[in-house]
Amino acid sequence: AFLSGNVTRDQARHTFSLPHSTMIEKATALLNKHGSLNLILPVEEAENIRAYTPLKLLRKTLVYNHQGGEVKRWLMEMSAKPGKTLEEDLFIRDDNGGFSSEYRQLTRNFYLNF
């Protein structure tokens, strides 16, 4: 991934100051029995985390740019409490190339024009 040159933005979007392994370790120690850790990660990083985290995957949403495309990101909800994993798909774009209603619903609090 490319760095933007903006230190605050780069720290929020990259793992050089907080590796995923450290984040998982600290979250595991801090979560109460009803707490959860939610992450948005590229596929490879999400799969790596699944291999070593003691947390249980409660929800996995596969994010695609459009129907028929490849998975771009995982939305993950993890908890110390075991449960069945809910799996969903999310398409950012609809068949007309606009934002899908599901994507708009999920991100409406972050965009003024949604």
Condensed to tens digits (0 to 9), the pLDDT of residues 61-108 reads 999 999 999 999 999 999 998 889 999 999 999 999 999 999 999 999
Answer yes or no: is 1 within a domain.
no
Answer yes or no: is 74 within a domain.
yes
Which residues are bridge partners to 93 per DSSP?
99
Helix %, strand %, coil % of the chain (to 5): 35, 30, 40
Answer yes or no: is 43 within a domain.
yes
Domain that holds residue 43: 7-110
Q: For the chain, how many structural domains are there in total?
A: 1
Condensed to tens digits (0 to 9), the pLDDT of residues 16-55 reads 567 778 888 899 999 998 999 999 999 999 999 988 899 9
- Indicate the pTM of the whole model: 0.80
Answer yes or no: is 35 within a domain.
yes
Give the C-alpha separation, 109 to 112, whole Å.
Answer: 8
Contact (Cβ atoms closer than 8 angstroms) between residue 82 and residue 109? no
Answer yes or no: is 2 within a domain.
no
CATH number at residue 53: 3.40.50.150
